């Protein structure tokens, strides 16, 4: 056995307060626990072959992404798992590679489906939360989701190329931050290395530009 590739993923929930606890559990179960389970099952074989583990994380596991909190939290956990495992397996000659793509157009980012799921979730929120946020905020939030469909890149082959490199190169990188082009790659590098307060300001600016709704009681 030369390589184990973990690519299962699920996206659920919205902001921390508006997401159900089950959204967090589902994201962690699929995105992290499933990865850990598969990896542990194959490590004995990889120790013999001195092969490699290739795990798909996300740029959302490096930059905290508001309003997709359960998903982002699970991907931060995946990045942490990759970092720990890489340092632990080095003594065995096993390489652990983390693939961390930006937003690409895959079945997981079906914004119409996500919007419908949020409508169903918001309908079951506590009355006090609905009162504070307002029904208009909740409607506008879920209706704004399909507008994000302009952001994902269709260049999914970029992810395939990095996967290929991770599996076949004699000395692959420890981390591949997969981006659609060099402009996005440079931007991602800069964003990841900015102070947290500057990242916060940039995210606020993006939310303002896309006219993210504000809760009723603000």
User: Looking at the domain assignment, is residue 115 inside a domain?
Assistant: no
**Confidence at residue 209, expressed as pLDDT on a 0 to 100 scale:** 82
**Count of the separate structural domains present in the chain:** 1
Q: Please report, rounded to a whole number, the percentage of residues in the chain having pLDDT higher than 90.
A: 71
CATH label of the domain that carries residue 160? 3.40.50.720
Residue 212 or 53, more confident: 53
Q: How many Å apart are CA 173 and CA 209, to the nearest integer?
A: 35
Q: Evaluate if residue 53 carries a pLDDT over 90.
A: yes
**Confidence at residue 141, expressed as pLDDT on a 0 to 100 scale:** 86
User: Looking at the domain assignment, is residue 28 inside a domain?
Assistant: yes
User: Looking at the domain assignment, is residue 214 inside a domain?
Assistant: no
Residues taking part in catalysis: 71
Q: What is the mean pLDDT of residues 71-92?
A: 98
User: Looking at the domain assignment, is residue 18 inside a domain?
Assistant: yes
Residue-number span of the structural domain to which 38 is assigned: 3-108+151-194
User: Looking at the domain assignment, is residue 54 inside a domain?
Assistant: yes
User: Looking at the domain assignment, is residue 209 inside a domain?
Assistant: no
Of 183, 180, 176, which is closest to residue 152 (Cα–Cα)?
180
Q: How many Å apart are CA 85 and CA 118, to the nearest integer?
A: 35
User: Looking at the domain assignment, is residue 212 inside a domain?
Assistant: no
**Confidence at residue 148, expressed as pLDDT on a 0 to 100 scale:** 65
Q: What is the mean pLDDT of residues 57-83?
A: 95
Contacts of 151 (CB under 8 A, 6+ apart): 103
Burial class (CB in 10 A: 0-12, 13-18, 19+), 66: middle
Q: Are 72 and 30 in contact (CB under 8 A)?
A: no
Render pLDDT for 119-155 as a digit per residue (tens, 0 to 9): 888 999 999 999 999 999 998 888 777 656 667 788 9
Q: Are 4 and 42 in contact (CB under 8 A)?
A: yes
Q: How many Å apart are CA 29 and CA 74, to the nearest integer?
A: 9
User: Looking at the domain assignment, is residue 120 inside a domain?
Assistant: no
**Confidence at residue 50, expressed as pLDDT on a 0 to 100 scale:** 97
**Confidence at residue 150, expressed as pLDDT on a 0 to 100 scale:** 64
Q: How many Å apart are CA 162 and CA 159, to the nearest integer?
A: 5
pTM above 0.85, yes or no: yes
């Amino acid at each position: 056995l030369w390589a184990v590739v973990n690519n299962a993923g699920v996206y659920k929930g919205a902001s921390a307060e508006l997401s159900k606890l089950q959204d967090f559990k589902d994201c962690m179960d699929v995105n992290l626990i499933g990865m850990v389970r598969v990896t542990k099952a194959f490590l004995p074989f990889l120790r013999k072959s001195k092969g490699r583990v290739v795990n798909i994380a996300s740029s959302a596991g490096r930059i905290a992404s508001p309003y997709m909190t359960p998903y982002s939290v699970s991907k931060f956990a995946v990045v942490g798992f990759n970092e720990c495992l890489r340092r632990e397996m080095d003594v065995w000659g096993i390489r652990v590679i983390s693939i961390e793509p930006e937003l690409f157009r895959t079945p997981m980012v079906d914004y119409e489906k996500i919007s419908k799921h949020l409508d169903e979730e918001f309908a079951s929120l506590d009355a006090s939360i609905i009162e504070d946020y307002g029904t208009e905020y909740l409607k506008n939030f879920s209706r704004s989701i399909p507008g994000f469909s302009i952001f994902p890149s269709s260049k999914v082959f970029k992810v395939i190329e990095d996967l290929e490199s991770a599996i076949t190169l004699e000395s692959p990188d420890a981390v591949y931050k997969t981006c659609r082009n060099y402009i996005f790659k440079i931007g991602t590098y800069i964003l990841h290395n900015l102070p947290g307060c500057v990242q916060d300001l940039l995210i606020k600016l993006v939310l303002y530009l896309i006219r993210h709704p504000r809760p009723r009681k603000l």
